[in-house]
Structure 1
Amino acid sequence: MKKRLLISTALSCFIFSIAGAQQSSNKALAGKILADIRLDTVQAKALQLLSGFSAGTSYSEVWIRDFNTFINGSLKVHPKKEVKTKLLMFFRIQGQGGDIVDGVVDSAKASVGYKYRYSSLLPGWAAHKNTVETDQESSLIQAVKKYIDFTGDQSILNECIGGKTILQRMEAALAYLHKDRWSEKYGLITGATTIDWGDVQSENGWGVAINDKTKWALDIYDNAMFVKAVQDFLAMAPRGYKAQTDWKAVASKVTANVRKYLWDAAAQKYIPHIYLDGSPFSSDFNEKEILYTGGSICAIIAGFNTPAEVLEINKQMLAAAAKEKHATIGITVYPPYPEKQYPNMKPYSYQNGGDWTWFGGRMIAPLIIYGHPQEAYAELSPMLDRMLANKGFFEWYDVQSGAPKGSGDFRGEAGVLYDAITALRQWAAKNR
């Protein structure tokens, strides 16, 4: 009995010793984070840039997929009424079938080669939809949830546009995806073949619109975004709201089918695509070797993965980044698609192996949530240094040269960095 008591006491001391060491380590890390002046500088510059709503210097449009990622910062610098008005624009020009457009733009600036739509509910504005994507509806619903979380203003749900409330219009957007972008065979959301979260299909030509060369497929990004949107919709819907569909059951079904069809348990990664009408790639090309980072991050945010899997996904992203001199975990895919397979986008350019803080930065909050603040801080650090070295926020970066590319004043990057720093600081404040 005495021996057992000694063993029990020793074990308790060991456990308390580990806990104490962890607490001390967290305290030191928290102090380091709170003393890091880079965080102040980057957040301040992000808020300066978020004085506007268009995606960046190369874009006149307000894009919903971008706005969804910088709305928290926007609400810090704009009156909530102004941010709300921008959100409602997307509902004012919603399709009859419930679909949501990508971008809205002053009709006088509607000069790009898109097929524009107009609405009497939104005079003076034009809109377009990149039909190869399946994330516009999900992005808008997620953005409304962030607006309510930040402001507490639930009245937006009862705003009436064209005889329908915003709550009804959000459900119509989900219903559009469940009807028009749905594979009955797999029980998953569909989209055109693009690179991970990208909006350009593989064949030469105008890559943002469905055409006779489009190959329909299933991927992790579209389904993760959809499930997150359903979760947000259910969280916003007031008690007693009579939904047209059992969305909780739909989300559960999609989650289960993601695990069944898209998660490769042996490789501990998501496969790029399942094709519904044939692959656009040659038979000797093994697409499954490619790591999709952005979609994987969104899957983690949607709650698809276990803590152990989250850690493994992060390790794989770090390993991919380590293979290129200037890469971070924001590298879109690795390795990139060969030019022969993806003629619309050369390797190491844009979404084909370019490095996007816009997505890499979204991994920081999940790492903290899953108990890895040290990794979160370390993986955010090169993104901060890169922004400061280039004196601004850029759309993407060349992993071979480190050069900033694409649009300058890219608000998506500014918003994601703002949110990532906020998450780090909140953790540090609790652990200092």
Structure 2
Amino acid sequence: MTATCLMNTYQPLPLSFVKGLGTRLWDHTGREYLDAVAGVAVTNVGHSHPKVVAAISEQAGLLLHTSNLYSIDWQQRLAQKLTRLSGMDRAFFNNSGAEANETALKLARLYGWQKGVEQPLVVVMANAFHGRTLGTLSASDGPAVRLSYQALPGDFIKVPFGDLDAVRRAHQRYGQRIVAMLLEPIQGESGVQLPPPGYLQALRMLCDQRGWLLMLDEIQTGIGRTGQWFAFQHEGIVPDVMTLAKGLGNGIPIGACLARGKAAQLFTPGSHGSTFGGNPLACRVGCTVLDIIEEQGLLANAQRQGDRLLARLRVELSDHPQVLEIRGQGLMIGIELTRPVRDLTLIAAREHGLLINVTRGKTIRLLPPLMLDEREVDMIVRGVCRALGEVEQVQARPAHERLPA
């Protein structure tokens, strides 16, 4: 079926799925695929988990929406769980990661005004991705993300990711106008870029010294993806503001912005809101997802299988001429190639039943569900290696003989 009635915003592969269970998806012909993307780090507890299905079914028959004019019990429960797990004080719920980051940027602006800064600035990172609203686009980077949106709102200072000296130079130049920093603990969309060890600890110290808010975008790294509940926990720090989405709802739209200390006290009634944010269905699913991760020990499994996947890939691809670097944390792994490759995701899917993603043109990004087992790790390694071998053969053919769209 052609997508002639849809706006031209995506370039989907010629694949469509009708069923999912655990780490697997099936198309309309009944063919099975191993999902190593998980909806871009969304289905952390797998497709159609029976407890998630039961929670959705029961809650849909009870109550979907009342609005935030009234107290919502499941919203309170989810906030309590998230603050307990993260060390934060309060939560605000909305519908997506971009909205969660908009909430964080609003807190930064309010924080600056409270300090008497009329035009507050936020330090952000080169090659970051925080969303596609006008505000989060301003905080993001990369020509493919920003496109022709040149005049964007917001006041941001962009520095290289992982460069502490660049942050110090920004302070020397802009002084008291800087009120916050916003960054991903691991940059996902730019190719699973990890900071040097101790980077987050150093930023935490700088923010404490300067009176800045440390705001972490954990939309892709959070909810167990890296082997801890949140990526900042690998360095033993706690941010002032944290944003979540993706894996929190396992496919049900939900976003969250958590804050602690002064940042948690900035909003007052009427200063922020969301019609659908924190509805009973989304929050009950969020609670269920957190329970599943705890009950099934998925944090430890993500770390264990992620270590295995990373090690196997490094061994099998050590001599591959197209592989530049393999890096990752937990089940968030990037394979950076020497140049962009066409048709790789399609070859992996069609020839090997493996769903992968290529981001920023030349980095294979692997984000499988957290219940991945050793056999499936081996399947991913085998599929990636074979697909990389075959893509060269396909690209060497005349254009009319390549894979059809």
TM-score per shorter chain, which class? under 0.3
Tell me which structure has the larger Cα radius of gyration. Answer: 1
TM-score normalised to structure 2 length: 0.26
Between Structure 1 and Structure 2, which shows a larger proportion of strand residues?
2
Between Structure 1 and Structure 2, which shows a larger proportion of helix residues?
1
TM-score normalised to structure 1 length: 0.25
